[in-house]
Amino acid sequence: HFHDVLCLSEAKGMDINMEDLLLIEKLEAAVWAAHSLFERGKTAGSSANMSFRHNDLVYISASGSCFGTMCREDFAAVRMDGTPVWDQKPSKEWPLHLALYGKSADIGAVIHTHSTYSVLWSFVPSRSVSDCIPDHTPYLKMKLGTVGLIPYEKPGSEALFSAFRERIGDSNGYLLKNHGPVVPGKSVMDAFLFFISLLYKKLLRVPGNKSLAVESCFLEFSKTNPWGFDLLNSNVDNSSLISLLL
């Protein structure tokens, strides 16, 4: 689409604003990433949000938008202080995004979803809140770095934004407890690839044909006994319980 706009502008003898073309290219990349994540089952409904930085503005998915039907018009623009540029309402979690852009000028995009395995993993006790995903393979550390665990607070609340800002300097990516991952990158494509690395890191297979994330979380749920009966010693088939968790 970027090249189509360029060719059309040249054919009509129009002046080509390279900044506008770059913005279109970024919007197209964001739409592609949103559709890809939706098709992979990493988000559903309007639960996810993403953003990218362009000059002095941050373009963030609008409130209520769905990754599955995302288009270029589904992005609101805000200034770095959170002031909206036009009437379109940004995702309520825009402060998470702006906190990351304020952290480093190298961050050019942010992706946040409520992906199932990430939420499950956030229940697993971690030895380090600044590095909550173990080194089963080297790729996550090589591509993204450490992933910090952020304490649970209500989504969209100032308490969540405050907890996030308190730990933002301790890690490179983040996992909001009971909520989902927040992954930054230099560009939308960087953030997307880092995000995929984080997700598939937790899908490593272990004996018993269950993912490490599900097996670990099953044990943790069993200990906390959320349903009021003994999961470990009950006659309920474990596979049924895992299906219930997913």
Which amino acids are annotated catalytic?
93, 139
> Residue 58: what residue type?
V
SS (H, E, C) 94-106: HHHHHHHHHHCCC
Considering just the CA atoms, what is the radius of gyration of the chain in Å?
Answer: 20
For residue 124, the tally of other CB atoms under 10 A from its CB is 18
Report yes or no: 177 and 152 within 8 Å, Cβ to Cβ: yes
Report yes or no: 58 and 51 within 8 Å, Cβ to Cβ: yes
Q: Is 82 helix (H, G, I), strand (E, B) or coil?
A: coil
Residues ≥6 apart with Cβ < 8 Å to 160? 96, 150, 153, 154, 176, 179
Q: Which two tokens stand for residue 124?
A: 């697993």
DSSP designation for 16? P
